[in-house]
A and B are shown apart, each in its own frame.
Chain A
Amino acid sequence: MNWGSAGEFFAMGGYGVYVWGSYGITAALIGFEAWLTLRRRRRALCDALASASSEAPR
């Protein structure tokens, strides 16, 4: 174990801002990308099936 307490863990030897800033940005970007992409796939499926069921000539 590296950390004596939770406080030490979050402080990261004084580099807390840089370390947690990095991990925070990474988590945010990845979370946002995953959410946007899943949403895109869901929308595409709904649109495809909607256009199929409406039987509108294309």
Chain B
Amino acid sequence: MSSQRLRLFTFAAPSRFYSLSGSLLPWLWAAAALLAALGLYIGFFVAPTDAQQGESYRIIFIHVPAAWMSMVVYLAMAGWAAIGWIFKARMASMLARALAPSGMVFTLIALATGSFWGKPAWGTWWVWDARLTSELILLFLYLGYIALVEAIDDVRRADHAGALLAIVGAVNVPVIYFSVRWWNTLHQGATITMSAAPKMQGTMLTAMLLLTFAFWAYAFAVVFVRARAIVLEREHDAEWVRGLALPTRVAARTSS
């Protein structure tokens, strides 16, 4: 049991997270670019026209992945914030802070692309149905979390206040997910579920899944970069930070 706990907390040290994330980053960026290129190629040049929606359906290749990421990133953010609070793990709290802006961007993409799709499909840019409204609330939760942690000067208090907000707000994620089942919504129901085969044409589904993985790889990459920035901002007094090499011309510029 204790050896399991050691492994669990190995990368809780900011210095170890910093070096691990640094070595993973090039692979993550490469994976994101490759998967996106492949997914977009299949989406635009292989997947056929939709019988009902014509070419406008091709927005799905970014709309659904972004929406899925907006929910997954929120749960990850709330999870890490909770772990940071419960176990007093600084790195976990830093990860939560790193996740928030990315989750917010995915939520914005989901809302904007959804709006652009809704206009030709439903005749309106917006409707206050359960799915759209709860996704908008998700945006406000992200904004609220970011504003809250930035507003409180004491870093640990800010982390804990943010954790509370993130955890309480997590109830919104199942609401978003089940909204199309619990309420009569203009937004269509689930095409992909855990219980049945996907009701989507093969190449369309392939393209959408490739872009989902591309968004995932991109999210890891950009969240790692942001977490590294936060680590440097918070841990600048640490010995290991002083040990990081910099080219001399940059050092000369910054010391002026």
Contact between A37 and B59, CB atoms less than 8 A apart: no
User: At the interface, yes or no: A4 with Cβ under 8 Å from chain B?
Assistant: no
Question: In the assembled complex, which residues on chain B have CB atoms less than 8 Å from the CB atom of A13?
Answer: 49, 54-56
User: At the interface, yes or no: B93 with Cβ under 8 Å from chain A?
Assistant: no
User: At the interface, yes or no: A45 with Cβ under 8 Å from chain B?
Assistant: yes
Closest to A40 in B: B229
A46 CB, nearest partner CB in chain B, Å: 5
What is the 8 Å Cβ interface bit string for chain B, positions 93-108, against chain A (1 contact, 0 not)?
0000000011001001
A33 to B108, CA, bound (A): 12
B90 CB, nearest partner CB in chain A, Å: 16
What is the 8 Å Cβ interface bit string for chain B, positions 212-256, against chain A (1 contact, 0 not)?
000000100010011011101101110001101010001100110
Instruction: Given A41-B225, A45-B232, A47-B236, check contact A22 B250 (CB 8 Å).
Output: no
Question: In the assembled complex, which residues on chain A have CB atoms less than 8 Å from the CB atom of B48?
Answer: 2
Instruction: Given A2-B44, A2-B48, check contact A19 B229 (CB 8 Å).
Output: no
Question: In the assembled complex, which residues on chain A have CB atoms less than 8 Å from the CB atom of B228?
Answer: 41, 44
CB contacts under 8 Å to B, within A1-58, are: 1-3, 9, 12-15, 18-19, 21-23, 25-26, 29-30, 33-34, 37-38, 40-41, 43-54, 58
B161 CB, nearest partner CB in chain A, Å: 22
A45 CB, nearest partner CB in chain B, Å: 6
Which one, A22, A30, A46, A47, contacts B59 given CB within 8 A? A22
User: At the interface, yes or no: B15 with Cβ under 8 Å from chain A?
Assistant: no
A52 to B251, CA, bound (A): 11
Closest to A47 in B: B236
Q: Give the size category of B's interface with A.
A: 35 or more
Contact between A46 and B49, CB atoms less than 8 A apart: no
Closest to A49 in B: B246
Question: In the assembled complex, which residues on chain A have CB atoms less than 8 Å from the CB atom of B235?
Answer: 48
Binds A, one of B112-120, B180-188, B193-201: B112-120
Question: In the assembled complex, which residues on chain B have CB atoms less than 8 Å from the CB atom of A49?
Answer: 241-242, 244, 246, 251, 254
Contact between B241 and A52, CB atoms less than 8 A apart: yes
Question: In the assembled complex, which residues on chain A have CB atoms less than 8 Å from the CB atom of B58?
Answer: 12, 19
Instruction: Given A18-B120, A33-B105, check contact A48 B232 (CB 8 Å).
Output: yes
Contact between A15 and B56, CB atoms less than 8 A apart: yes
8 A-B residue pairs with CB within 8 Å? A9-B44, A14-B54, A18-B120, A34-B222, A40-B226, A49-B244, A52-B236, A53-B251
Binding site for B on A (CB under 8 A): 1-3, 9, 12-15, 18-19, 21-23, 25-26, 29-30, 33-34, 37-38, 40-41, 43-54, 58
